Copies of this chain bind each other. A is one copy, B any other.
Amino acid sequence: MRTGVWLVGARGSVAVTTVVGAAALARGLRPPVGCVTDSPQFSSVPLPAYGDLVFGGHDVAGVPLRERAERLALDGVVPAGLPAAVADDLDAAEARVRPGVDGADRRSQAEQVAGLAADLAAFREREGLGAVVVVNVSSTEPPAEPHPATADLALLDEALAAGVDALPVSSRYAYAALSAGCAYVDFTPSRGARLVALDQLALRRGVPYGGSDGKTGETLLKTALAPMFATRALRVTSWSGTNLLGGGDGATLADPAAAASKIDSKERVLQALLGHPVSGGVHIHNVPEMGEWKTAWDHVTFQGFLGTPMRMQFTWEGCDSALAAPLVLDLARLTARALAAGRRGCLPELAFFFKDPAGTQVHGLDEQHRMLVAWAAGLASGHAPA
């Protein structure tokens, strides 16, 4: 069955890499490297095929997808030649992109949400889609305390009706998605659906949501390595992380306010895994020359037997969009299936994909993986646990 994947930030690097990749996989041009749901453990789960995914999305600006894809090929994010080979798919997705909302939007938030929801409904209808999943892959927004009205759906609706600006941008998209009967996934650290009122909305509308902040690099390694120190009873005394990044992300995160939310979720992870606070911290430095590539250097000091001090360090050099895109596909496929299976509300079982998993404190990568596989098996068998 044709399944809609609606990308908030549809002309960004992650979105375009996702669309190029889905098309390449559907056409058999590349093997599904990096696609978790293509692993044998998921073979019995009835997930939508890559060729059944129909892409659309919102964006406030940006160059057309085909042009962006060509730039990504120049930067080595996607293989040279591939954008041309899937140009039709890129143009089809481009034709489905609608103007998004941002801080400069003069309409009331209620009007904005209604507009976004209407776009989603139109997408579903026009394309004859069985399920639509909205995935937020736009830029990180600065963190902020939730507005008091978001503590309850009735209050929130009242506030919105009264013209109050109660929702950050990401949550307007989440409201629109949930109210339109779509699943919602936040791949960024933004607020998205993580508000009491929106959780209530998801439960009422019977749709699932998940997030947040895709785990693609340094934190992925942390959640693989920190359990090693913990199970071996080695005491980590400091863990200092440095991230060099360019691209749009580097510029966005050079703003300390925006970086704060990303750094927060990165730091919480370690404490949860090790069971005690650890000095060192996470630092993000903007290096425009890095382009789409990201280098993380982590330096860890720890005590062995009798307190003997030891050290490890690692350097991770990855291409962020190429690490994120297959996870976006995984999340779209799994969440579409969850929606079809009647799953509603928060999906903590998706923790494997996120730095700051909604609905759970499980951060260990291996434990998250087992949780995911078990849950997917339930989806396969038709069980739809509440």
Binding site for B on A (CB under 8 A): 17, 20-21, 24, 30-36, 38-39, 76-80, 82, 220-221, 224-225, 227-228, 231-235, 237-238, 240, 242, 244, 279-281, 283, 285, 287-290, 295, 297, 299, 301, 303-308, 310-319, 322-323, 325-326, 352, 364-367, 369
| Chain B proximity of A247: nearest CB distance (Å) | 13
Q: How far is the CA of A366 from the CA of B366 in the complex (A)?
A: 7
Using Cβ atoms and an 8 Å threshold, which residues of chain B touch A315? Answer: 299, 312-315
Complex contact B283–A279 (CB within 8 A): no
Partner pick for A79 among B30, B78, B242, B306, CB 8 A cutoff: B306
Using Cβ atoms and an 8 Å threshold, which residues of chain B touch A311? Answer: 316-318
Partner pick for A301 among B35, B78, B289, B305, CB 8 A cutoff: B289
Pairs A-B, 10 closest by C-beta atoms: A366-B366, A314-B314, A224-B228, A308-B322, A34-B305, A238-B289, A304-B322, A237-B289, A305-B322, A305-B326
Q: How far is the CA of A313 from the CA of B298 in the complex (A)?
A: 11
Partner pick for A244 among B33, B233, B240, CB 8 A cutoff: B240
Complex contact A231–B290 (CB within 8 A): no
Number of copies: 4
Using Cβ atoms and an 8 Å threshold, which residues of chain B touch A35? Answer: 233, 305
Consensus secondary structure, chain A interface: mixed
With A238-B287, A285-B283, A314-B312 in contact, is A319–B304 under 8 Å at CB? yes
Complex contact B279–A287 (CB within 8 A): yes
30 CB contacts below 8 A, A to B, read: A17-B305, A17-B306, A33-B235, A33-B306, A34-B233, A36-B231, A36-B232, A39-B231, A39-B233, A76-B308, A78-B306, A79-B307, A82-B306, A220-B228, A221-B312, A224-B227, A231-B365, A233-B326, A240-B285, A240-B287, A280-B285, A283-B283, A290-B301, A297-B299, A306-B322, A311-B317, A312-B315, A314-B314, A315-B315, A366-B366
